[in-house]
Amino acid sequence: MSPVSDYDLHSHSTASDGTLEPRLLVQRAHAAGVRALALTDHDTTAGLEAATDEGQRLGLVLIPGVEVSVTWHGRTVHVVGLHVERGHPLLEAGLSGLRAFREWRAAEIARRLEQHGVAGAYEGARRLATGAIVSRTHFARYIVERGLARDLREVFRRFLVRHKPGHVPGEWASLEDAVRWIRAAGGQAVLAHPARYRLAGPQLRGLIGEFRECGGEAIEVVSGSHSREDCLVMAAETTAAGLRASTGSDYHGPDNPWLELGTLPALPQGCAPVWENWSH
Ligand code: AMP
Ligand code: MN
Ligand code: MN
Ligand code: MN
């Protein structure tokens, strides 16, 4: 059995689509034995101040991060930034553009759902989104709350993915811009949960190659959404590309019972950890 990792470099709070306030998230990670946690909310750094403060209080290393939404050849992919400087003007301007798109998209999703007989989705999602952004997760929670589906997965499958009534194509940052904003803010760019994109080998290598050319530094090899097999495949691709490896639960709150903080396995042998040269 592989030991549990001290590091968890991907998580969400109520500043985006997590269900725990930043301070509570840090408390829970600390109690679960996580030594270094990155808060990486979608397209916002609004939770970082409180999380950093709580990390200092408890003696947990809080790595300021963000998860940037990207459109790459018509698909949505995610790039995590680690150690980003909070309030950096270029990064914040970029994220603010993405949040503006989210606002427009939320109204558009609601309009489409309304035509499909789901009433009040805009107000519902807005109410459930108490932080800086509205995400599809908030629409999913509203639809579950209305009793129109059993769980979030079912909502995504029936309403919110391509070819389904509430789907609105993303128009997010380019891969190049996302990496540039993160690096300008002093951060390291990590390609998030690559197995989730379900790319065939050549496409995956294309994505990793472009990401590296833009200045990307690491790939999330271990992820809460990767199977053991996915981890091993991504470890091999990452090493072959000469990139570093990261690990992150992508935790969104305690109501996802299949994944708890402090349970991530260590990186597979042969990976160069993204934290190798960190001072903490
Ligand atoms: P958005 O960035 O607003 O398009 O929302 C994407 C978020 O939805 C992801 O970060 C996940 O938290 C969540 N999500 C995506 N697919 C699923 C799914 N099949 N089941 C549950 N949550 C999902
Ligand atoms: Mn999410
Ligand atoms: Mn993601
Ligand atoms: Mn995430």
Write out pLDDT tens, residues 154-178: 999 999 999 999 999 999 999 999 9
Going by CA atoms, what residue is nearest to atom 20 of ligand 1? 153
What pLDDT score was predicted for residue 44? 98
Pairing of strands 188-191, 75-82: antiparallel
Q: Does residue 54 share a domain with residue 24?
A: yes
% of the chain exceeding 90 in pLDDT = 95
* Cα-Cα-Cα-Cα dihedral sign, residues 180, 7, 219, 72: negative
What pLDDT score was predicted for residue 256? 77
Pairing of strands 218-223, 188-191: parallel
β-bridge partners, 247: 222
> In the predicted model, is pLDDT for residue 1 greater than 50?
no
Q: Does residue 215 share a domain with residue 80?
A: yes
Distance 67 CA to ligand 3 centre (A): 7
**189 close to ligand 1 (CB < 6 Angstrom):** no
d(CA 169, CA 102): 11
Q: Does residue 90 share a domain with residue 222?
A: yes
pLDDT per residue as tens digits for the range 100-157: 999 999 999 999 999 999 999 999 999 999 999 999 999 999 999 999 999 999 999 9
pLDDT per residue as tens digits for the range 70-96: 999 999 999 999 999 999 999 999 999
Q: Does residue 70 share a domain with residue 185?
A: yes
Residue 124 structure tokens: 């519902």
57 found inside a domain: yes
CA proximity to 245, closest of 7, 62, 3: 7
Q: Does residue 243 share a domain with residue 149?
A: no
Structural domain span for residue 121: 104-160
> In the predicted model, is pLDDT for residue 48 greater than 90?
yes
183 found inside a domain: yes
CATH number at residue 130: 1.10.150.650
Distance 250 CA to ligand 2 centre (A): 8
Q: Does residue 239 share a domain with residue 127?
A: no
Q: Does residue 154 share a domain with residue 16?
A: no
pLDDT per residue as tens digits for the range 177-195: 999 999 999 999 999 999 9
20 found inside a domain: yes
Distance 136 CA to ligand 2 centre (A): 8
Q: Best mutation site among 11, 13, 17 for ligand 1, i.e. most ligand atoms within 8 A of its Cβ?
A: 17
> In the predicted model, is pLDDT for residue 205 greater than 60?
yes
CATH number at residue 188: 3.20.20.140
pTM above 0.85, yes or no: yes
261 found inside a domain: no
Residue 136 Cα: closest atom of ligand 1: 3
d(CA 29, CA 58): 10
Distance 136 CA to ligand 1 centre (A): 6
What pLDDT score was predicted for residue 257? 67
Q: Does residue 91 share a domain with residue 111?
A: no
195 found inside a domain: yes
Q: Does residue 227 share a domain with residue 122?
A: no
Residue 17 Cα: closest atom of ligand 1: 12
189 found inside a domain: yes
Q: Which residue has better confidence, 257 or 232? A: 232
H or E stretch including 214? helix 201-214
1 found inside a domain: no
Q: Does residue 121 share a domain with residue 240?
A: no
257 found inside a domain: no
Q: Does residue 15 share a domain with residue 78?
A: yes
Q: Does residue 238 share a domain with residue 128?
A: no
d(CA 137, CA 7): 25
**153 close to ligand 1 (CB < 6 Angstrom):** yes
Residue 42 Cα: closest atom of ligand 1: 2
Residue 76 Cα: closest atom of ligand 1: 4
Q: How many domains does the chain have?
A: 2
**156 close to ligand 1 (CB < 6 Angstrom):** yes
Exposed/middle/buried for residue 248 (C-beta within 10 Å: 0-12, 13-18, 19+):
buried
Q: Best mutation site among 14, 133, 136, 160 for ligand 1, i.e. most ligand atoms within 8 A of its Cβ?
A: 136
Residue 137 Cα: closest atom of ligand 1: 8
